[in-house]
Amino acid sequence: MWYYYAECAVFMQKHMGKVVTKFDVASIACKAYLKAASPLNIISAFKKAGIFPLNRSAIASEKLLPCEPFRDDTPLQKADAMRGGKDAILDYLKNKVAQTSVTSECCPCKLKTRRRSRPNPSGREITDDQFMAEMDQLEKENSSPKPRKKRKEARTEEESANHDIAVYKWQYLRRFGV
């Protein structure tokens, strides 16, 4: 943010009396971004986050699972599969899923129960019997929490593998339009 303000100051010095318009903002922001995205700033940000020097325990491996389909240990086999056609790709994906099949159990959610708001007494007597009954009902609802429903159990390994194959297939079709 500091870089943007500095670029605005430079712009205003060069263009005395001119107001910064929406058309000037893009060029100013671009200059500020190029200064802010320097390698030293990026390294210091990683140091601040505890990721640099490489600390493998800084980010849990479970949180990196969504990017697994994009990682590849065998790029040559992947390229051969792409040249081989649709069947070769499906075989490659099945082999990859079989090698890296990971199932994770669902953790129970901690859903907050939504509390009903108090009835609005504006324009009514707060000693009215109907208003008092609404308040009593609200207090009863808030004092006894309702039991929560249990979530579905985690997928089996076979269901997880089938799901992963479907995801890989969808990503391939989306990327290459086959």
Average pLDDT over residues 39-57: 75
Q: Please check whether residue 9 lies inside any domain of the structure.
A: yes
**Full residue range of the structural domain in which residue 39 is found:** 1-59
DSSP line for 100-117: T----PPPPP-PPPPPPP
pLDDT greater at residue 156 or residue 137: 137
What is the average pLDDT score of the chain? 74
Count, in order, helices (H) and strands (E) of the chain: 7, 0
Question: And the tokens for 79?
Answer: 């390229």
Q: Which CB contacts under 8 angstroms, 24+ apart, belong to 147-151?
A: 148/111, 150/108, 151/106, 151/108, 151/109
Q: Say whether pTM exceeds 0.85.
A: no
Domain total in the chain: 1
| Confidence at residue 11, expressed as pLDDT on a 0 to 100 scale | 92
- The tens digit of pLDDT for each residue in 98-149 reads 665 555 555 566 666 666 666 666 666 767 788 788 878 877 777 766 666 6
Q: Please check whether residue 159 lies inside any domain of the structure.
A: no
pLDDT greater at residue 106 or residue 87: 87
Q: Please check whether residue 72 lies inside any domain of the structure.
A: no
Q: Please check whether residue 20 lies inside any domain of the structure.
A: yes
Q: Please check whether residue 142 lies inside any domain of the structure.
A: no
Give, as one character, the DSSP assignment of residue 128.
Answer: -
Q: Please check whether residue 13 lies inside any domain of the structure.
A: yes
Q: Please check whether residue 16 lies inside any domain of the structure.
A: yes
| Confidence at residue 15, expressed as pLDDT on a 0 to 100 scale | 92
In this structure, the chain runs to a length of: 178
